[in-house]
A and B are shown apart, each in its own frame.
Chain A
Amino acid sequence: MTTPSSQQRLRDMMLVRRFEERCAELYGAGKIRGFLHLYIGEEAVAAGLLPALGPADTVVATYREHGHALLRGVPARAVMAEMFGRVSGCSRGRGGSMHLFDAERRMYGGWAIVAGHLPVAVGLALADRTLGRPQVTACFFGDGAVAEGAFHEAMNLAALWQLPVLFVCENNLYAMGTALERYQAQPDLVLRARGYGVDAASVDGMDVEVVAAAARDAVERVRAGKPFLLECRTYRFRAHSMFDAELYRGSDEVARWKQRDPIALLAGRLRTRGQLDDAALAALEQDVAREVEDAVSFADASALEPIEELTRHVMAEVAP
């Protein structure tokens, strides 16, 4: 793979941001229904991490995974159509926001059972090792997942069997509305990983260049055949989902984190380096807005899954 330029990473984050801002509007308009968990504020993690993977590597993500799907290369049209529940969506409109799959791009969801995917990531990596494929499984999860038993089992198995899993903890400090220090006896995740014999590092998850450097290093270690845990300290600017009065955190805390907005942080740095000016930024904004609007039009014009499909894919289809 080629390492993307900082301009490309800026565009990646802007695409995810714009995509999700539109999702929030479309939710208000009733086009997107059900649950919607926005990644806004956390974009530097996916934008820093995903380009470090090759096309044969595996991605497993959480229910806050629109950005991961987009930056893994799932077309914005297919992701938006899935958000709309349309048959042209990347999972045929069956799952919606939290169930983004794409076999061609080795995207394995979209997991709405917190930590349910961690043992599965271990199995994907075990399959790689058994079949002699030099590939990496990148498994994203939030800090809340660390309290689940599945985290413990997955870490132990990955370390015991020395499997090529990159555990990426997107630590946004809250398991929905409960702060890390209110639900974890040991909030130091690096320390916890080391307890399992898994090497780990913790980085500033708001700085895409920092994440990218850490990701390159982590992927290299994992490809050499050992699990690794990378904690990215990040923050979600929006509510947990569309129904959340945010009684568990103060607006001053949110405002403080917004001063470290990953997009503004990188844009400012590029300006200082003389690599970005107003015109270039405006052009990028236009470019991602066009891509997102195209996705919205595509999704809106797509059909819903027909009723005849309701019972398809429960089991394998047998030739009559």
Chain B
Amino acid sequence: MPVMNIIQAVNDALRIEMRRDQRVVVLGEDVGKFGGVFRATSGLFEEFGPDRVIDTPLAEAGIIGSAVGMALYGLRPVPEIQFADFIYPAYDQIVNELAKFRYRSGGQYPAPVVIRTPYGGGIRGGHYHSQSPEAYFVHTPGLKVVIPSNPYDAKGLLLSAMRGEDPVIFMEPKRVYRAARGEVPEGDYTVPLGQAKIVREGKGITVLAYGAMLHTVIEAAAKAAEAGIDAEVIDLRTLLPLDLETVLTSVRKTGRVCIVHEAPRTCGYGAELAALIAEKALTSLEAPIERVAGFDTPFPYTLENEYLPSPERVMASMRRAVEFQ
């Protein structure tokens, strides 16, 4: 089985779907001749031509608005927003138009657009090349939000997303774009949206993460094991729809929870997870729910590594939860 990184897996998924379905169209800034700023669309322009791999101006609202129109009328657009930080100029199109189209037309007009965007810190990108805006989109009814952590899931989840009937925000963890490598089957397969994956089984504490943070958590769990903490690590993979059953089953087993994400803490996705766990499994809890997150600041440049949850911070948090009497 070939070994790929996440970029290659995304590229493979796009190519497979574009060959399979003539309606699939890629558009965005530098996705064509340039091959994408991270090379995720490399080679597609050469294979599928300028009508299906469309280089656009720097116009995020125009890109997403055009994609909405194309989706309303027979195409399957997969726009790329070059960095998740650049998604805000398209925020109106995503939140007011894309997400609500099916609903406000009384079900007459689905808008199956898959927006791919690299997100997250760890590349010294500073304020505007590092953000994790997933919570805004989870908060918007009508959107699905998917964040893979590894090449296998990236390919399988992206293929699922492109075959669905709903808009999807597909966020790619750029810090591990190349670092996360793994075996990826050739050809077609899908990973269904809405299924979390238990990455490491354990009995002492449930640790919830997604995207790049999963790798931090795995490192922390290995350290924790040496200290006698038996962590169960769950990769959520899809934030919406959330696989709440897998989360609750684990929490009922371990009684302790640590939630990790790199977005700011306040009203981050962890807040929703904590609320759901408190609502559905309070009596199983043996310690307060722990959250390890970015700080409530703009994304910093110099102090990036201090801002991002580290294995040490995650480890300390797990220890607090496990030692709580």
A binding-site residues for B, Cβ under 8 Å: 58, 89-95, 99, 101-103, 108-110, 113, 116-128, 130-131, 137, 149-150, 153-154, 156-157, 160, 312-316
Q: Specify which chain A residues have a CB less than 8 angstroms from the CB of B164 in the assembled complex.
A: 316
What distance in Å separates the Cβ of B262 from its nearest Cβ neighbour in chain A?
Answer: 27
**A125 and B69 contacting across the interface, CB-CB below 8 Å:** yes
Q: A116-B65, A116-B96, A153-B59 are in contact. Are A108 and B109 (CB under 8 A)?
A: yes
**B102 and A119 contacting across the interface, CB-CB below 8 Å:** no
Chain B residue at minimal CB-CB distance from A98:
B104
Given contacts A101-B104, A103-B108, A123-B70, 16 further A-B contacts (CB under 8 A): A91-B105, A91-B106, A92-B107, A95-B104, A101-B109, A103-B105, A120-B72, A123-B77, A126-B66, A127-B73, A150-B92, A153-B62, A154-B62, A156-B62, A315-B166, A316-B166
**Number of residue pairs spanning A and B whose beta carbons lie under 8 angstroms apart:** 136
**A122 and B69 contacting across the interface, CB-CB below 8 Å:** yes
Chain A residue at minimal CB-CB distance from B77:
A123
**A126 and B105 contacting across the interface, CB-CB below 8 Å:** no
A-facing mask of B83-109, CB < 8 A → 1, else 0? 000000100110011000011111111
Contact of B70 among A130, A312, A316 (CB under 8 A): A130
CA distance A101 to B110 in the complex (A): 12
CA distance A315 to B89 in the complex (A): 24
Contact of A153 among B65, B77, B97 (CB under 8 A): B65
The reply on B64 being an interface residue by CB < 8 A is yes
**B69 and A124 contacting across the interface, CB-CB below 8 Å:** yes
A-B contact pairs, 22 of them (CB 8 A): A89-B106, A91-B108, A92-B106, A92-B107, A101-B106, A103-B108, A109-B104, A109-B105, A119-B66, A120-B97, A123-B67, A124-B69, A127-B70, A127-B73, A130-B52, A149-B89, A153-B59, A153-B61, A154-B65, A156-B57, A156-B62, A315-B166
Q: Specify which chain B residues have a CB less than 8 angstroms from the CB of A103 in the assembled complex.
A: 105, 108-109
Chain A residue at minimal CB-CB distance from B165:
A316
**B73 and A313 contacting across the interface, CB-CB below 8 Å:** no
Q: A101-B106, A103-B108, A157-B59 are in contact. Are A119 and B64 (CB under 8 A)?
A: yes
What distance in Å separates the Cβ of A83 from its nearest Cβ neighbour in chain B?
Answer: 14
The reply on B142 being an interface residue by CB < 8 A is yes
Q: In chain B, residues 25-73, which have Cβ atoms closer than 8 Å to a Cβ of chain A?
A: 25, 51-52, 56-57, 59, 61-62, 64-73
Q: In chain B, residues 150-174, which have Cβ atoms closer than 8 Å to a Cβ of chain A?
A: 164-166
The reply on B75 being an interface residue by CB < 8 A is yes
Chain B residue at minimal CB-CB distance from A318:
B165
**B75 and A131 contacting across the interface, CB-CB below 8 Å:** yes
Q: Specify which chain A residues have a CB less than 8 angstroms from the CB of B65 in the assembled complex.
A: 116, 118-120, 122-123, 150, 153-154
Q: Specify which chain A residues have a CB less than 8 angstroms from the CB of B96 in the assembled complex.
A: 113, 116
What distance in Å separates the Cβ of A254 from its nearest Cβ neighbour in chain B?
Answer: 33
CA distance A121 to B66 in the complex (A): 7
CA distance A282 to B275 in the complex (A): 66
**B51 and A119 contacting across the interface, CB-CB below 8 Å:** no
The reply on B74 being an interface residue by CB < 8 A is yes
**A124 and B72 contacting across the interface, CB-CB below 8 Å:** yes
The reply on B185 being an interface residue by CB < 8 A is no
Q: A91-B104, A91-B108, A316-B164 are in contact. Are A157 and B68 (CB under 8 A)?
A: no
The reply on B141 being an interface residue by CB < 8 A is yes
CA distance A150 to B77 in the complex (A): 19
**A315 and B102 contacting across the interface, CB-CB below 8 Å:** yes
Q: A127-B73, A157-B59 are in contact. Are A120 and B66 (CB under 8 A)?
A: yes
Most buried by A among B71, B72, B107, B164: B107
Q: Specify which chain A residues have a CB less than 8 angstroms from the CB of B103 in the assembled complex.
A: 94, 313-314
CA distance A137 to B65 in the complex (A): 14
Contact of B62 among A58, A90, A122 (CB under 8 A): A122
Chain B residue at minimal CB-CB distance from A89:
B106
Q: Specify which chain B residues have a CB less than 8 angstroms from the CB of A102 in the assembled complex.
A: 108
Q: Specify which chain A residues have a CB less than 8 angstroms from the CB of B67 in the assembled complex.
A: 123
Q: Specify which chain A residues have a CB less than 8 angstroms from the CB of B62 in the assembled complex.
A: 119, 122, 150, 153-154, 156-157
**A119 and B57 contacting across the interface, CB-CB below 8 Å:** no
**A126 and B69 contacting across the interface, CB-CB below 8 Å:** yes
